[in-house]
Chains A and B, each alone.
Chain A
């Protein structure tokens, strides 16, 4: 019976112009997303490689006397899945100038460099599912029940020994299967495009992509379930369509933003500028203090030749000690202030995310960006990578030059015969290379599974709602 109902739904869908046209359009969009995604990936890759080369070139010609002037760039490499689910990947800074010490600031997000993209955002797979396909699902299913009623086929069907629950389930599964089949073709073709266009995807990447698509289908299932529910709660198709349109606007456009606003109201977080000002104040004060203490120990001239070599050495040592102490104190302060801010941010973020997940559209978008590695965690991942790199770089510096890049007064000891020694260049090959921590499949799976569970729950809720409504539906 269920099989028969599903078969009928499929035949009905594929025979209807409305369905064929909407899904031809979605097929084009999906293919476009894959194609432009693959293209973007290669463009970004080229840009990235050029930037890496440029950064190396900028450091060429430095001599071993000039370790302190090394400013390697930690560049965020483009990731293949990020072009399909851009998430925050275009919003976060991708370039970090790394010093041995001090705060690192990532700059140069893609949107800041190509604001035109920021103005229109990116048409990626996640967007197509979340916005376009959801709308098409609504278009496809808003009259699922009322349409049958208007044709008289609902009466005719239910004049048989067909339980209403079975009938509704048949509608739901049939519509779901029709959408899945209609989307399978462009999605598979999209994968072929990725292959043909040489986008390097590992086995785990394919797995993540597969899960993103499954998440998308789960989300469309929710939309279909909701459409059936509304369709079974209204007597007229036009009313059902209006109600669903409002649901779509609220769920896709309004609610995610509203939840961020609400969380912003609920948890206060000092601005970044305020924090920077506080840190600057502290550092200025610290610097003044250390300067005066340096003045006390600065070696006085002991004869015509200036301070003795021992005195200078002593001074250098002392100065390094002071610098180290200051650095330790400073970084402790920075850490404290920043940690406080980050904690508040986390709380705020968590509330925003929790609230936003009440909309299935957001749940899907979060799941897909988590899987693609472009969720908010991407920024942290990059930050942690740059911090790890900073440590490696600092170690390298200390090893090579014997001191860090902390601030301070540097006294260059120049002996008369310096010109005789050939200047040795820094071997940039030895400079540690920057790599971003990879997205760990297990990690993202854990998070995504939670969202998948939530999407499943939404499916069940919408089905149950539809069932209750349909039991009371006037089929005449």
Chain B
């Protein structure tokens, strides 16, 4: 790693998406996430958070602007871009007839990681808080939270420089949520660039190095951790939502 601190890993540049039915889901949004940084994208339902993440993964094509991963525009070279990013979606359900180990093994190898051992998989599953007795159980009987944890383990095992998380805490109980925050901090300390969408203000404030508030497809506020220091994020959030409404 030489110039990683100066070069942002995730970049949204004038990112705009209008769906076929005319909905303007993302309106000229720009932000960057550098290695060792957690960016929390806040916003209510329908604000455009998932749309932004899907643009990074080239699941949809941008109407205008571009999403770049490590300098590669996702819609130009999707395979190269996707090789550099791990992804946790909301409500992962995975393969019910596979065990947790089999699930992580499949996705790890799909990500090109072929040298992992069973022990590595166990370590990763332990790290996300999945109890050892569950590792060899089929996912059929897993709770939402256990499946989400397995999904997070998959993202960790991909070991990509950037991580996209779309409302990752939605299936987790408070304890698991707290553990997850710690895990995110570890990953950041390892130098990952993390973009997380959430409507959980509390967690956002806890971990984020940068917070962006989205409303109706626009990035209406963006503050660093330092700028937020001492501010009441909840009040800010409400104010910006309301302010946007007025404006």
Contacts and interface: CB of A to CB of B under 8 A. Distances in A.
Interface stretch (B5-13, B77-85, B123-131): B77-85
B102 interface: yes
Interface in A127-162: 150-153, 155-162
A117 to B, nearest CB: 42
B102 A11 contact: yes
A336 interface: no
Interface in B29-79: 50, 54, 57, 59-60, 79
A1 B158 CA distance: 15
B111 interface: yes
A157 B89 contact: no
A475 B109 CA distance: 21
Contacts of A159: 57, 82, 85-87, 164
B240 interface: no
Contact of B107 (A150, A157, A475): A157
Interface residues of B, number: 33
Interface string B193-217: 0000000000000000000000000
Interface string B105-122: 011011110000000000
B98 A156 contact: no
B79 A12 contact: no
Contact of B92 (A11, A15, A156, A160): A156
Nearest to B83: A161
A476 B59 contact: yes
Given A155-B59, A476-B59, A1 B93 contact: no
A164 to B, nearest CB: 10
Contacts of A4: 106, 109-110
A160 B98 contact: no
Contacts of A12: 95, 97-98
A153 B94 contact: yes
9 contacts: A11-B97, A152-B89, A152-B91, A155-B59, A156-B92, A156-B94, A159-B87, A160-B82, A474-B59
Interface of A: 1, 4-5, 8, 11-12, 15-16, 150-153, 155-163, 474-476
Interface of B: 50, 54, 57, 59-60, 79-80, 82-83, 85-87, 89, 91-98, 102, 106-107, 109-112, 138, 151, 154, 158, 164
